[in-house]
Amino acid sequence: MATLLDALDAAVNHHMAGRTDAAERHYRLILGADPAQPDALHLFGVLRAQTGAPALAVVAITRSLRARPAAAQPWAHLGAALRAAERLEDAETALRRALALDPASADALDALGATLHGLARYPQARGWLLRADALRPGHAETLLNLGTVLRDQRHFAEAELCFDRVLTAQPTHAGAQLARAVGRLVRGDLRVGWEGFEHRWRRFSTPPWAGEPLNGATILLHMEQGFGDAMQFVRYAPLVAQAGGRVVIEASPALFRLFQASFDPSIQVLVRGPEPPPHDRHCPLMSLPRAFATDLSSIPAAIPYLAPERGDRNRWRDQLATGPEGLRVGLVWAGNPRHRNDRNRSLPVTALRPLLGIPGVRFFNLQAGEARGELSALAPGSFEDPMERVRDFADTGAILANLDMLISVDTAIVHLAGAMGVPAWLLLPYAPDWRWLLDRADSPWYPSLRLFRQPRPGDWATMIGTVTAVLKALARQTTPRQTANPA
């Protein structure tokens, strides 16, 4: 027993000192000797959560609770791990159990508030986070979570006070800088927002570019976030070339053919590899608006700036030519499930049911990923599905070029449609991503977009009702082109 207790003390000391490898070794030694040791299971689970393995954390902490079901702190940590694993309803249950056992658990209060925020239950989230803040005033994570809830409730002044409290104590706190920047960006205060947005992670150690003359230097423009982000901000590449440098764009394989077809050959497009290509300066694509001091009046909006090759457009035109006449409409209802806000930006496929029976509309399932098959279960035979033949975004763009419009949630294909000038209706949650701003039906980034917004958090039904009515009216008054967006 003394040996196990000594090993547990050593594991905890390593854990607290940040020596994760050594802590893991000691926890495993203990559990090898006593697989049900509750403290080791609990703390090993905490370690797994801290090192980015929340699903494994859930397993370990759940095992610890079988031995000690009345221990409040493991329930709090289980809830936090479930939240990190995107199991928000289960997280709420665990955290309420923790608070029933210990109403003064600041960790549980904070995690419950953040969980309810993820469920778009903003007033409740705010209440729990205020209780956590009262228990431990000035705690950075609690203030950041509270400020984010207030921001999404559009209480921007109160939100900034929370972020400022964090930054007063920790001026370089990246999370608070980014959260405050997003609040500025979504209100259209772009120039101030871009400065805080620079606290994102970067890949390269070469000198960053901030808009100065390049004088013949090679500049690498590189992806650092999602496909949609890359498509939105690659519009700046020709402007960078005008600054006097040799421009190299590093793209993912899914975007390579599309970017290569869209830009002058003087702009080199490469597939992203394990090491960056030779370059003198670099700039993440999402930092280009800052480099050009972009505000709402100066967004480069020369559309289209992305276009698939003529051969691809013609090939897809021929493949889509057969079938009934009607307004050709692409449908996308879900984004990447690993996106941090996917629960709120994606809608259940059943919400689309009112759309599918509109006369004079020919629907195309353009959904990618695991959700693609959901439409078949909902409405078999009411749509066409070309996605099994799609290789990359160049193919998706060629399909869009042959449709009349797209209806989609906030995911990458919306950026593709906008960059090509294809009409698109964007379905937005109540608290939208910053780039869509607030309370407007258009986008200064993409003139071909029309924005539909939830009137209340989680209210997709009202929005879809509006979209259905507008689409019915459009179908009645529109004579679809025999070939949309001809080559």
Confidence (pLDDT) at 480 = 53
Looking only at the bridges linking them, the beta strands covering 383-384 and 405-409 are unpaired
Query: What digits encode the pLDDT tens for the residues 155-181?
Result: 999 999 999 999 999 999 999 999 999
The residues that bridge with 451 in the sheet, in sequence order, are: 426
Backbone angles phi, psi at 215, to 5 degrees: 50, 45
Say whether pLDDT at 247 is over 90.
yes
C-alpha angle 116-118-121 in degrees, rounded to nearest 5: 45
The residues that bridge with 46 in the sheet, in sequence order, are: none
Rounded to a whole number of angstroms, the distance between the first and last alpha carbons of the chain is 78
CATH architecture, domain defined by 310-477? 3-Layer(aba) Sandwich (3.40)
Write the CB contacts of 139 (distance below 8 Å, at least 6 apart in sequence). Answer: 106, 110, 132, 133
Query: What digits encode the pLDDT tens for the residues 322-333?
Result: 777 789 999 999
Query: What digits encode the pLDDT tens for the residues 117-141?
Result: 999 999 999 999 999 999 999 999 9
Q: What is the mean pLDDT of the chain?
A: 91
Domain map (residue ranges) of the chain: 218-291, 310-477
Query: What digits encode the pLDDT tens for the residues 179-191?
Result: 999 999 999 999 9
The residues that bridge with 337 in the sheet, in sequence order, are: none
Confidence (pLDDT) at 150 = 97
Confidence (pLDDT) at 481 = 54
Cβ–Cβ < 8 Å for 81, 45: yes
Mean pLDDT of 414-433: 97
The residues that bridge with 452 in the sheet, in sequence order, are: 427
d(CA 339, CA 320): 31
Cβ–Cβ < 8 Å for 104, 135: yes
